[in-house]
Amino acid sequence: MKKIVQPLLEWFETHQRELPWRKDRQPYHVWVSEIMLQQTRIEAVKKYYARFMEELPDIRSLSQVSEDRLLKLWEGLGYYSRAKNLKKAAQTVMEEYNGEFPHSYEEIIKLSGIGEYTAGAIASVCFNEKVTAVDGNVLRVMARLSGSRENVLLPQTKEKFKKELQKIMPEQSGRFNEALMELGETVCLPNGSPLCRECPLAEYCVSCRDGLTAEIPVRIKNIRRKKEEKTVLILYCNGRIAIEKRLRKGLLSGMYQFPNFEGFCTEEELKAEFQPLKVLFLGKAKHIFTHIDWYMQGYCLEIAEPLKEYLWVTPQELTENYALPTAFQPFWKKCHSLPDSFIE
């Protein structure tokens, strides 16, 4: 393993991508980018990162932003608890560290929403602390290098690789961690399709040597998924759309949504309940969360009088000011695209 350090660092110097958060490696920039990159591809994150930094350029502004505005800036990234934890952590930094981001792994990991990987990435990249930062990309690289058939989703497998990396961690810890992640993102690709001819570590890789890259890493999931059926309504009245705020706890907490009901309602049931002037069926959609799958059908209903239990906003206000979960976006887009739609 010691032999991989130098060729990896040399490769990174010439092959690293130009990313906005790498320009200065300030803790705030690295922190926000790492949180955004959880469950999200780099190319998709770039535009969100730029918009976020334009409006919230520092820890103080993040600590003071309203939750509605924060969620609107985060709209489209999903996993909205990440954004809420960002603000909570920013408030902690302002209150307990006088606005200066903590410098050590042990202090960083105490902040809301920051786990071992993110703490290791910030501590090593920004403060050159000799700690590991092991994400899915690094696990894949390590499994293929060693030819390991251990399940990389198990905590003990991750701990094993962390210990191996800690033993060879160079003084340039941040560069080394970034290089491993970069290699996993751009060369040691998933799904059995790595670019081994471009890999600086190919001569040390057991999987490359033995033709095992399609079989390694081993990922065995054991998740029981819950399925929920929902009817989603876009209620329209006098040029405004009905929305409501979700509860403070649970899935998509604190976000705005279209009214929706458990189960699949028929058009006849909706007519009896709302007595709409017009009804349009918007089709079906599916959205996958971590442990829940939503199976949805949508309707657009024009009604004569606004119902008091909802907040009524214009389409422009909905687009500009309210964070709408990605799960509901297909129905909103479909409503706009219908030729005879009554949504202006």
Query: CA distances (Å), 106 to each of 92, 169, 173, in order?
Result: 15, 18, 16
Spatial CA neighbour of 323 closest among 81, 87, 79, 70: 70
Give residue for tokens 């924060």.
Answer: 70
Residue of 12, 17, 18 lying closest to 201 (CA atoms): 12
CA geometry: angle at 233 spanning 228 and 235, to 5°? Answer: 165
Q: Does 34 qualify as catalytic in the annotation?
A: yes
The alpha carbon of residue 112 and the mean position of all alpha carbons in its chain are separated, in whole angstroms, by 16
Contact present, 67 and 84 (Cβ < 8 Å): yes
Give the distance between the most distant pair of CA atoms in the chain. Answer: 73
| CB count in 10 Å sphere of residue 1 | 12
CA distance 152 to 159: 10
Q: Which of 13, 34, 54, 95 is catalytic?
A: 34
Please list the residues that pair with 295 across neighbouring strands. Answer: 229, 286
Q: Are 252 and 246 in contact (CB under 8 A)?
A: yes
Beta carbons within 8 Å of 262's beta carbon, 6+ residues apart: 228, 229, 230
What beta strand segments (E) does the chain contain? 226-237, 240-245, 256-257, 260-262, 278-288, 292-302, 311-313
Q: Which residues contact 194 (CB under 8 A, 6 or more apart)?
A: 144, 187, 188, 208, 213
Instruction: Name the residues annotated as catalytic.
Output: 34
